[in-house]
DNA sequence: TGCTAATCGAGACGGTACGTCTAGTCTTTTT
DNA sequence: AAAAAGACTAGACGTACCGTCTCGATTAGCA
């Protein structure tokens, strides 16, 4: 994460300056990491990035848009494939919690959810994003279905919803340090409930 | 929701004036209902309630405290007791969604969660509150255990967490109009997963 | 300047409590001495005196009234009588400057003048007070007239005005540490101007 | 004193907008004229000028700075040059009193002096200003010295001080309507006291 | 090669809200 | 009746951001 040079960035002609773009995204991430959502303001990002406010507003029409891009820039969480749904889901949640806990991603995503509660653009953007993620997480269930672990009439989207909801609430209530036992219990309750020999 | 009289409320001596207290809580609710979390400010509440800002700050140290009291003032959601866990939980979620949807409660609680992402007092207050609610919801599971529906080694708190998480995420992503089929599916997956003859 | 006892003063029945009166005046003086006019508020005095605000407002209708009483409670400056007008006036100014400098009187009187610029009660009270003082200071000139030092047609009130004005402006512009040479020069210019053999 | 147009003033780039500057100074003057020092608040000025409070604080760090600039913006008092010190000084005082009386200048300067009693910035600004004025007034005396009217060893600054003090006290005690006889008497006492053939 | 046009940093602008302070009024309780 | 206590409405304080605006400098691509 290289720092901005002492010499100010200038315009590079009649087109977007990628340096500024990167500097702003990195500054936004840094501000969120250091001061959290409370300290996240366009002013603070502009100050940190040594950028003008209009430059930010030009490319990101709302705080939400900036937050979303910052979040998407960060590395995705790996979706395990162990051949066993319970292990997959427990692994996924543990990876996700660790990712949220150890990087600024947790703060970014929390902020995005909070922002979505008062800003309709953020709300729409979040709905879009979560729609995509749900399908992604649902693949773990679909694979389990294909393996015969899970009943065929199970709605993978609902299962993905349950798992994602569990993750969200832990994020939003500062419980990302949940122990494996509890995570596994939650996952097992759901996995057992949808297993093939049950339904 | 009666309006304030033309004559200003005065002090009623060296003790809290319940009229002011009520007027402020009602104003807070009205502001949230009309302008949402984005327009919810102490100034706006004070203006609407014809109250001085210090009067609000005197009794509610933070926006979160005010939000929480507004939320708690609203009628509680009934916890059904049908003798069947699936029906209990489906009914509970439907009641909760309807309550959030049809009153301003949903907006209030969304705001509280959002506030908790940037204010540590809000965060603490919310943790406090959800702790209490978790035990409450868990009772449905405990009753089912007592009836023999649910395995004895099931952690009721984890189940309550799963259900509450599902509700929160629907609130936070504007999906309170979820159809019964989906709600029932989610509940069934969990209930089956913890049923006695399964574990 | 004894401090208030730990036990709160109580009402002594249907009449004014002199302890409260004294405590309030002393508190006002102490506040002015420590924080100056900037920190002088009825709230601050009430806090310091452990008195209720209404108790202050009952007896002193305005800040100015309180200031005036505080000022008048303080010891008067001696008016010298050396048999020579120049010495009298120089001595008087030196005494006055020292009094203002070394006690809280200076702050009190500055505050009173400042208050009089925005409060008509203060203005009236100050006019009243200065009227009395002018006559008082004028006596030094009248004595000099009687001694034949000063021409008979000199208006003692105008001379008193010149001297008092000089003192006020030094107070108001923080020049109470003026050296004797300058004070004497100012006095001499006036005294020579009114001496008998001149006019 | 033209009113602000209906269209709000906007920024004119990364530099001070003179329209705003003027609007604020005129608003400050108007507020002082209408409500006096008691009603003079940054809020009131901002409201009247249709300006944001931060715009005022950006350019005038304190109420005193604003008052001072309002005062200095108003036309200066003419310093007469009649070839006779008594006439010069009497004329100067009469001009000054009339200026203070007939414009809002008197209120502005009174306010500035009052403000200086509680605010060290005001105090410093006032000291600065009066320093300059003293030299200015002293020139009348210096001219008289050059003409041989006044003894050479007279300290012009002290004389200016006496005259200015006399003016200040009349301003501060609402005596700007003083008659010419009294003004002339005061001036004559001083002028005689310093005349060449006397000392 | 010189002109146009979009972008950059900078920072001022009118506003709104923050959380704190004081003003002056009020009522209850205690003496 | 008067004292203390402290709550009440009201509004100013000085600060932080909001989102918009205009500037002058910069540079690519069109003419």
| Nucleic chain E contacts, protein chain A, residues 2-61, CB cut-off 7 A | 8-11, 13-17, 20-21, 23, 49-55, 58-59
C123 torsion bin: left (phi>0), alpha (psi -120 to 50), beta (else):
alpha
Q: State residue B1's pLDDT score.
A: 36
- Residue A150: φ, ψ to 5°: -120, 140
pLDDT-derived band at A120 (thresholds 50, 70, 90) equals confident
Task: Kindly determine whether residue C194 and residue D193, on different chains, have CB atoms separated by under 8 Å.
Answer: yes
User: Which residue intervals of chain A are DSSP H helices?
Assistant: 18-35, 42-49, 53-59, 63-73, 85-102, 105-116, 120-147, 156-172, 180-194
Per residue in A158-195, pLDDT (tens digit) is 999 999 999 999 999 999 999 999 999 999 999 998 88
Q: What is the DSSP letter of A173?
A: T
Beta bridge partners of C195: C150
Q: How many CB atoms lie within 10 A of CB C74?
A: 14
Beta bridge partners of A150: A195
Q: State whether residue A198 sits within 8 Å of chain B by CB.
A: yes
Instruction: Name the nucleotide nearest C16; use CA and C1'.
Output: F2
Task: Kindly determine whether residue C166 and residue D168, on different chains, have CB atoms separated by under 8 Å.
Answer: no
Distance CA C37, CA C67 (A): 10
Per residue in A142-153, pLDDT (tens digit) is 999 999 999 999
Distance CA C25, CA C31 (A): 10
Q: Which residue among B110, B117, B158 sits closest to A186, beta carbon to beta carbon?
A: B158
Distance CA C141, CA C150 (A): 8
Burial string for D139-166 (b: 16+ CB within 10 Å, else e) reads: ebbebbbeeebbbeebbbbbbbbbbbbb
What are the pLDDT tens digits along chain D (199 aa)?
343 344 679 999 889 999 999 999 999 999 999 999 999 999 999 999 999 999 999 999 999 999 999 999 997 888 899 999 999 999 999 999 999 999 999 999 999 999 999 988 889 889 989 988 888 889 999 999 999 999 999 999 999 999 999 999 999 999 999 999 999 999 999 999 888 765 4
What are the pLDDT tens digits along chain C (199 aa)?
333 334 567 666 666 788 889 999 999 999 999 999 999 999 999 999 999 999 999 999 888 889 989 988 887 888 899 999 999 999 999 999 999 999 889 999 999 999 999 988 888 888 888 888 888 889 999 999 999 999 999 999 999 999 999 999 999 999 999 999 999 999 999 999 888 765 4
Q: Which residue among D117, D168, D189 sits closest to C111, beta carbon to beta carbon?
A: D117
Which residue has the least CA–C1' distance to nucleotide E14?
D52
Nucleotides of E under 7 A from a protein CB: 4-31
Q: How many CB atoms lie within 10 A of CB D81?
A: 12
Instruction: Name the nucleotide nearest A11; use CA and C1'.
Output: E8
Per residue in D47-69, pLDDT (tens digit) is 999 999 999 999 999 999 999 99
Burial class (CB in 10 A: 0-12, 13-18, 19+), D28: buried
Average pLDDT, chain A: 91
Helix (H) or strand (E) holding C28: helix C18-35
Q: Which residues contact B148 (CB under 8 A, 6 or more apart)?
A: B196
pLDDT-derived band at B136 (thresholds 50, 70, 90) equals confident
């Amino acid at each position: 994460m290289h720092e901005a040079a002492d010499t100010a960035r200038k315009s590079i002609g009649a087109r977007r300056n990628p340096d500024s773009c990167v500097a702003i995204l990195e500054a936004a991430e840094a501000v969120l990491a250091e001061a959290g959502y409370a300290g996240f303001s366009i002013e603070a990002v502009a100050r940190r990035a040594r950028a003008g406010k209009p430059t930010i507003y030009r490319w990101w029409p709302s705080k939400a848009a900036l937050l979303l891009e910052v979040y998407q820039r960060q590395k995705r969480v790996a979706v395990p494939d162990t051949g066993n749904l319970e292990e997959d889901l427990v692994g996924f949640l543990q990876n996700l919690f660790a990712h949220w806990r150890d990087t600024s991603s947790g703060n970014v995503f929390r902020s995005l959810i909070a922002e979505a509660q008062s800003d309709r653009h953020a709300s729409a953007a979040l709905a879009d994003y979560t729609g995509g993620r749900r399908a992604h997480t649902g693949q773990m269930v679909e694979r389990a279905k294909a393996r015969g672990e899970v009943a065929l009439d199970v709605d993978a989207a609902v299962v993905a919803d349950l798992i994602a909801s569990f993750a969200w609430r832990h994020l939003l209530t500062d419980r990302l340090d949940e122990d494996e036992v509890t995570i596994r219990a939650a996952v097992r309750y759901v996995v057992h409930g949808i297993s093939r020999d049950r339904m």
